[in-house]
Structure 1
């Protein structure tokens, strides 16, 4: 019998990679068990004593609600996910028909994955990122910023502030009230605004400083700072967390680092004289994507840097539009939604945007904003950010409205969640300000998050709507591929891959009143806020990383082959190892969708 077991292992992955003597020893540790039809092998949450390999029969893997996630047959293993995490069943396993299993004791399994890296790689679903050299592209702002920067009160005399800067040998001082940033005074400000204008030494800092400077959180990438400095022609970036000043990053801090190619694109975009020039610059994004993916950068880094380019392009178009049309009659704010709003753009992106206009706007003023919207949207289209097929753009007067109208939009969508409202909510709840008067969005976002979280009917409809996008799971350990047409026999890594996770992240954000728009950041914030269980949230994050990384790798491979990138991947392009892990990722997403539908797992 031991010989038969060893022979079975020799033809089953990953046990086939083991040396013959190790496989023979493993066979001696394995028991054969028979499970009658209908009997549980283990339930979700039960302590696992073994890893199982099916010799014959059928095992159904189900979630808490009894929905089948997988149908497993001979040579499929199960139970490894729970053993690799907390030692408890992550799902329920039940014999759909009389089955014979090989049972590998948990202690033997753990020793196996410890001693044999190739076996570990097969069973470890977390896929830790490959080690990468830390550089300016991937470093967090907190890793490079100067902590406890020099500060003063806005009423501090200019001469006193200058003396403090000289004493510490720094090039700036932050004006604060309490812990809030009110302005920044640099050596350049002292030269250009104080000395050159003949200001007396007793002049308050508030009269010379740059008020309300741009700030970033410590979790931002250092590359974000570099892009902002290049585009806005600034040299200092205060770092603020939860309204509190925590650090400063200056151009001097960055001089020892080499600018990335994404920064070079931003530099050129900021200086572009016309739309045609912008289009030529943005056309280099595919090469950048290949470079970033080839450098083993995580998907959230790649998409953030690519989105930065779209943001800079949009802001440059706004500047060119104002230069052509003149100053706006009232303040406005240009916002992005969709993948740009979530900072998740890849090599395939259209444009989704809108305008919020100050309530002081009058009907004649719309001619200006209509012209501005057309100029910017046309420029984005020329640059490869194609017109939205659903016309969700600022060129559509419906999405170019005063703030009071936007408040009414969100109020009606929440209070009357009909199908159109659900569809619009799935786009408009991912809004992110890009250029203009940022304060127009602050109160609107806070009000909307609070109203949505309190309306259980709206949330129930949003959950229901999110389930329209299902992971491409075939029951028999395979994938449900596109059945006909141009993309036959492929899986859609966008609509059936990342979108289901995007929808879940949005639900968590609304439930927890979390202002972040990025999907991965939403999942992590939801875990911290208790809007999703820690176990489910971390599993979903790992699954999302797997799916999003696979999507980017697919697009990079297409670009290298000279093809236009898309989201349709043939499962045959993956190795057995990759297919197994990708399918497991889809199972996690399906499990979390079921939990959301049943009111479990996403509410604390």
Structure 2
């Protein structure tokens, strides 16, 4: 019996989106191929000549090490990765059963991508995030910074430093000792602090410079620079790696680039006079999320930019609180945990935070910090970062303590890893300083990681805790959906998709004593440090990217439809192709959970 190829394409996504005439023209270029079970269509490195559509049977996709990446069935397309790259297969495709396939020539496939944006978007979602189109603000500083910036010792006479700046036409000079940044001197500093004040020309730079300036690592994004500049009112950003100066990025360098709307929001936040104004500004986050997703930014960029807004809002509330209450009686540090701590906030976020106080704090001082915590927490809630259901907030006395008490907390959780200790330790291992004296946390973080990683019982409990959230895998290659309630027949992309990876990343960071807090950064660092196998780590990153990207796209679609964003997606909303890949991602997570549970998930 002859096959009506055009009709077959019309019933399969994304070819169903083609106009009838274009689909008929495509069908004329497509041929039918039958392949026996066990036969290989192509191997890694082979010339890639066709895109394939499965009519019957099963095709297994494996990497060069033989690890199964995908198991594909009828109505799944495959082969596009090689065609999009350089015409060379990047995976191996083998028939697990007798199969019938439609073959679309490479030239026809590329014509589809060129002429039909909907088809392009369908196949583009499966490409590695690093190759997607990015806005300039998502570029790392390492790619834009000026390397080997002008430096001088702090004791250099002011007139000598000014002459050096004039000679090479720069607006700043870094005061450094053995590569360590001690301060920065700009032309603005010379004008306002030296010339205007009549300071002698032989005055040391150290007397006029801005000491201990804000710095960023080369892995930070241009957006991070923009956000810091507009929030702090600075124009020069030294770039530091491992404590050593490696470059600088100035506002002048960035004038040719247009700031993203996230930077504009932060600029407004930095000068907001009250919490009501902040709430109006933060209320534009959903619109920003839609724009960022539409621009095909990778999930880790979208969540970083959105978290930056949460950070700026928190810092502005802290400043408003101090303006109302007066200066704090002792130094303090406001920290975020949860998704904000990991820089993974989306369109749905509650608040998880705490306060670390200087050990000089006395019981009477708590009245001030209780008021400060209430002011900030109430302001965050008003802005849409709703109160934590578990009361994991600085408003609770338990989470507003001096450094010595926090040391006792961590020591107790590690020594007695009961269920509550596991839960609390999991939350607190995601702590990230937001505002105040950052020095109050540095030693505490290092000490805790060292002590926890050495306690095999505690590590075992943390691994067990990381297996509580299971991916939604059902029988017969289906999904295990929510069975009842308002979210019936959906899958929870947060608790059954993202959270299991977050938990695994935390375990790897603990084993490797890694200070990274962001999940994706933890996985990359764990691979580098040997805390997880290279193959397993890379597979887990790919799975995480797929699920996290799907989650953001789901939220963006809800927002565009006038609904509130959530994490509950109906599998039927996805194409067969998308469902297959999403399920494969869940399989990878389950595999890595099994490996962690058996002791094979990391390398000692």
TM-score range, shorter chain: 0.7 to 0.9
TM-score (norm 2): 0.85
Aligned residue for 1:457, secondary structure, equals helix
Matched, 1:360 2:360: yes
In structure 2, do the counterparts of structure 1 residues 351 and 21 end up closer, same or farther at CA, with 3 Å as the change threshold?
closer
1:96-135 matches, cutoff 5 A: 101-102=98-99, 127-129=127-129, 134-135=134-135
CA 1:129–1:488: 2 relative to 1, 3 Å: same
Q: Kindly tell me: are residues 481 and 142 of structure 1, through their superposed partners in 2, closer, same or farther at Cα, counting changes over 3 Å?
A: same
Residue number in structure 1 paired with 2:458? 458
Q: CA deviation at 1:69?
A: 12
Cα distance between partner residues in 1 of 2:260 and 2:14: 43
Change in 2 beyond 3 A, CA 1:33/1:532: closer
Q: Is the partner of 2:361 in helix, strand or coil?
A: coil
Identify if the C-alpha distance between structure 1 residues 33 and 578 changes in structure 2 by more than 3 Å, giving closer, same or farther: closer
- The answer for unaligned runs of 5 or more in structure 1 is 35-40, 42-50, 62-67, 95-99
Identify the range of structure 1 (429-438 vs 586-595) with the bigger mean alpha-carbon deviation.
586-595
Q: Is the 8 A contact 1:52 1:102 kept in 2?
A: no
Q: Which moved more, 1:318-327 or 1:501-510?
A: 501-510
Query: How far is 1:21 from its partner?
Result: 7.7
Contact preservation (8 Å) 1:239, 1:247? yes
Aligned equivalents of 1:393 and 1:450: distance in 2? Answer: 26
Counterpart residue number, 2:398? 398
Aligned counterparts, 1:6-85, within 5 A: 19=27, 23-24=31-32, 26-27=33-34, 30-31=35-36
Partner of 1:299: 299
> What does residue 431 of structure 1 align with?
431
Query: Is the 8 Å Cα contact of residues 72 and 476 (structure 1) preserved in structure 2?
Result: no
- CA distance in 2: counterparts of 1:259 and 1:415, whole angstroms: 48
**CA separation of 1:85 and 1:453: change in aligned 2, threshold 3 A:** farther
SS of the residue 2:245 aligns to: strand
Comparing 189-198 with 507-516, which one deviates more in the overlay? 189-198
- Contact 1:239 1:249 (8 Å CA) reproduced: yes
TM-aligned CA deviation for residue 19 of structure 1:
4.9
> Displacement, 1:411?
1.4
Alpha-carbon distance in 2 for matches of 1:519, 1:600: 20
Q: CA separation in 2, counterparts of 1:73 and 1:298?
A: 28
Superposed displacement of residue 267, structure 1: 0.8
Per-residue Cα deviation, 1:379-410 (whole angstroms, up to 9, x for no partner): 00010000000000000011101011111111
Identify the residue that residue 508 of structure 2 maps to in structure 1: 508
Identify which range, 385-394 or 137-146, moves more after superposition: 137-146
Aligned-partner SS, 1:356? strand
> Displacement of 1:581 after TM fit?
1.1
Distance 1:114 1:524, change over 3 A: farther
Q: 1:218 to 1:15 in 2, by over 3 A?
A: closer
- Greater mean deviation of Cα atoms: 71-80 or 240-249: 71-80
Deviation at 1:73, TM superposition (A): 8.7
Give the match for residue 369 of structure 2: 369
Alignment match, 2:577:
577
Match of 1:243 in 2: 243
Q: Deviation per CA, 1:49-101, whole angstroms, max 9, x where unpaired?
A: xx998978x9999xxxxxx99999989999999x9766599xxx99xxxxx64
8 Å Cα contact 1:532/1:601 also seen in 2: yes
3-state DSSP of counterpart to 1:473: coil
Aligned 8 A contact 1:69 1:587 in 2:
no
Residue correspondence of structure 1 range 230-309 to structure 2 within 5 A: 230-309=230-309
Q: How does 1:524-535 map to 2 (within 5 A)?
A: 524-535=524-535
Is the alpha carbon distance of 1:285 and 1:78 closer, same or farther for their aligned partners in structure 2, counting shifts above 3 Å? closer
Aligned to 1:588: 588
Instruction: Provide the aligned length of Structure 1 versus Structure 2.
Output: 566
RMSD: 3.6
Q: CA deviation at 1:539?
A: 1.2
Q: Secondary structure at the match of 1:546?
A: helix
TM-superposed deviation, 1:483: 0.1
What is the aligned partner in structure 2 of residue 310 from structure 1?
A: 310
Runs of 4+ in 1 over 6 A off after TM superposition: 9-18, 51-56, 58-61, 68-81, 111-115, 117-125
CA–CA separation in structure 2 for the residues paired with 1:251 and 1:555: 34
User: Match of 1:328?
Assistant: 328
- State the TM-score, normalized to the length of structure 1: 0.85
Query: Whole-Å Cα distance in 2 between the matches of residues 391 and 167 of structure 1?
Result: 58
* CA distance in structure 2 between the aligned counterparts of 1:21 and 1:70, rounded to whole angstroms: 27
Structure 2: unaligned runs, 5 residues or longer: 16-22, 41-51, 62-67, 82-87, 114-118
Tell me the alpha carbon deviations over residues 9-53 of structure 1, each in whole angstroms, 9 at most, x when there is no partner: 9999799999578543x22xx22579xxxxxx9xxxxxxxxx998
CA 1:88/1:424 → structure 2, altered by over 3 Å: closer, same or farther?
farther
